[in-house]
A = this chain, B = another copy of it.
Amino acid sequence: MTRLCTDNSIEMCRDEIVAGYRQWRERTGNNPHCPVRDVLDRMGDKWTTLIVITLAERPHRFSEIHRAVPDISRRMLTQTLRHLERDGMVLRQVFPTMPPSVEYRLTHLGESLLRPLAELIAWADGNHERIMAARVAYDAGSG
C-alpha cells in the first residue's frame, strides 16, 4: 500500500483500496485498531479540518483562530489543537510576553496532509450538488 493513486483510472483506485485493505486484514488479523480510522476519526470531528485549513494559510495565534473559525468554543479549540499537536500535525510555540502569546503552525507532517485534503475538498465541492439532488429524490420517493 505504498503506491499512490496518481492516474485517473477508477479501476486502479479500486484495486489499490481493495488490495490494501486485504493486506491490512491479513497483516493484523482481527486487530480492531485501523490506522486509517485513526486519521478519519480526526478529519470527521467537528473542528479539525477547519483549523487545519486556517493554519494552512499562515501561523495563527490562539485568538486569531478563535476569530477565524466561527462558533468554536475556546474549550474545543484548545482540545482540538492539543490533539493536532499530539499527532505531530501542529507546532505550539509560546512567547513569554505579558500577556502571554502563543502561536500555532502546521508542521511538515501537517502540511503533507493538505494534498489528500485538497483532493477530498475538491471532490466534495464538485459533487455537492449531485448529493443534494440525490437526497431530494430519495426523500421524495420514501416521503
Contact = CB atoms under 8 A, between A and B. Distances in A.
Interface of A: 1-5, 8, 10, 13-14, 16-18, 20-21, 30, 32, 35-45, 49, 53, 56-57, 70-71, 85-89, 109, 111-128, 130-131, 133-135, 137-139
Contacts of A137: 88
A109 B121 contact: no
B109 A131 contact: yes
Given A115-B119, A119-B5, A17 B53 contact: yes
Q: How many copies does the complex hold?
A: 2
B44 A119 contact: no
A137 B87 CA distance: 9
Given A53-B18, A86-B134, A112 B123 contact: yes
Given A56-B14, A131-B88, A138-B86, A40 B37 contact: no
Contacts of A5: 115, 118-119, 122
A124 B87 CA distance: 12
A36 B121 contact: yes
A31 to B, nearest CB: 10
